[in-house]
Amino acid sequence: MTDFDRSAVRWSMSSGLVEYPSAVSIMERHAASIRRQEAPELVWLLEHPALYTAGTSANSQDLKEPHRLPVFETGRGGQYTYHGPGQRIAYVMLDVQRRFGTDVRAFVAALESWIIDALADLGVRGEIRPGRVGVWVVEPGGEERKIAAIGIRVSRGVSYHGISLNVAPDLAHYGGIVPCGIADHGVTSLADLGRGASVKDVDMCLRRSFERRFGPVVDGQAPHEPASKPMAVPK
């Protein structure tokens, strides 16, 4: 086993846009290393190019414009969602077995609380709704819109994939899908709500909130894929 401090989660950020297949490959490898106690737990912050992902519960009818953006099938829970520039993604690789036992619902609830707490620091009230995973805001007219999505996979006690928080993405791209299979409610972002928060501001709030919920973090280098590994082709 590699000698490292297991008392703190590594907190890393990637600059630029990270290709989705590469990110999945990196997460799978790191989660396996955590399982073998060869690597520390990790939260990885990044942005993707504009794309759609289809979770394990995705309904093909919810892909309204299949040729609009690349579409990637993925092993996370959930349905179709959009990722793109201006959206802060946090991939969460944690030892769920050690922290929550077999209670994956408690883990998801902790992730929701993490986002809600971070949004509160940004002056936005986030809420959860029964039967609708993710975090929602209520606009002045009473309309509920989703501001953050959660899509997690837990394999043999270790999580990967994570959350996506809309800072200032191009919301028009959500028109190509039924986001998370929910047609009755739209999506929003911090920018759409009139909040001038930058990605850096969001990162600071996410870090503070994460430490309150999950414990201390330490800065770490962003993970990377070996240069020799070929990139997957989107479906």
Residue 173: CA count within 13 A, CB half-sphere: 23
The catalytic residue among 94, 154, 180, 217 is 180
The DSSP string of 103-157 is: -HHHHHHHHHHHHHHHHHHTT---EEETTEEEEEEE-TTS-EEEEEEEEEEEETT
The DSSP string of 147-212 is: EEEEEEEEETTEEEEEEEEESS--GGGGGGB-GGG--SSEE--TTTTT----HHHHHHHHHHHHHH
Residue 180 annotated as catalytic? yes
Annotated catalytic residues are 180
